């Protein structure tokens, strides 16, 4: 019986596989979670709407342009006035679409409420409001 020597080509590949970091050890690009988005929207909208600094630094260029084109309305609140109170609903995240969203409810007086949907891209850094779709 003739013995065949082991090939040295297999050994380096095996060592590389053992020494290389596993895919679990390599950090993936950070994507915002539903909790991240909920905290952001709650802070961003507060009780009465976003601050001037938030409007400038924490919204997409698309929303800034839309606001500039509609000076008589507040595109971030889908309104013309400041609400008395704002409530952020549960956040939904669609990983495959790369976006998360929540329904925002604005209270105007004891009888009047309105809703709209606020969208955040999961990969935005820093986190920012990407779009707003008004209900009516």
How much is the mean pLDDT over the chain? Answer: 84
* Predicted pLDDT at 18: 37
The per-residue pLDDT for range 52-74, each reduced to its tens digit, is 999 999 999 999 999 999 999 99
Q: What is the pTM of this model?
A: 0.77
DSSP annotation string for 29-94: PP---HHHHHHHHHHHHTTT---HHHHHHSB-HHHHHHHHH-TTSBTTTTBSS--SEEEEEEEEEE
Decide yes or no: CATH 3.10.450 for domain 31-134.
yes
SS3 133: strand
Model confidence at 136, pLDDT cuts 50, 70, 90, reads low
């Amino acid at each position: 019986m003739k013995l065949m020597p082991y090939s040295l080509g297999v050994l380096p590949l095996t060592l590389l596989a053992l020494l290389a970091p596993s895919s679990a050890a390599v950090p993936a690009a950070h994507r915002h979670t539903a909790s991240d988005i909920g905290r952001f929207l709650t802070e961003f909208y507060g009780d009465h709407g976003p601050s001037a600094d938030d409007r400038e630094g924490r919204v997409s260029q698309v929303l800034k342009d839309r606001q500039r084109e509609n000076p008589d309305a507040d595109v971030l609140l889908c309104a013309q006035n400041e609400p008395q109170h704002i409530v952020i609903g549960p956040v939904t995240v669609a990983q495959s679409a790369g976006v998360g969203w929540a329904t925002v409810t604005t209270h105007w007086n004891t009888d009047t409420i309105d809703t709209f949907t606020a969208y955040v891209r999961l990969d935005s850094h820093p986190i920012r409001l990407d779009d707003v779709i008004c209900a009516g």
